[in-house]
Amino acid sequence: MEESKPKFLPPILRLPKRYIVFEVISEKPVGYGDVSAALWESMLEFLGELSSSETRIWFVKNLYSMEKQRGIIKCAHSCVEQVRAAMALVQVVGESKAVFRVIGVTGTIKSARTKYLGDGHGI
Q: Provide the residue-wise pLDDT of the chain in tens; the chain has 123 residues.
A: 567 787 888 888 888 999 999 999 999 999 999 999 999 999 999 999 999 999 999 998 888 888 899 999 999 999 999 999 999 999 999 899 999 999 999 999 999 999 987 755 445
Distance, in Å, from the CA atom of 64 to the CA atom of 29, rounded to the nearest integer, reads: 12
pTM: 0.85
Domain that holds residue 27: 15-116
Residue type, 76: A
Determine the distance from the C-alpha atom of residue 73 to the mean position of all C-alpha atoms in its chain, rounded to a whole number.
2
Asked if residue 27 belongs to a domain, the reply is yes
In a domain, 8, yes or no: no
Residue 122 domain flag: no
Indicate if the alpha-carbon torsion angle 70, 76, 79, 82 is positive or negative: negative
The total domain count for the chain is 1
Give a yes or no: residue 81 inside a domain: yes
**How many helices (DSSP H) and strands (DSSP E) are in the chain?**
3, 5
Q: What is the layout of strands, in order, in the sheet containing 96-106? A: 58-59, 70-76, 17-26, 96-106, 92-93
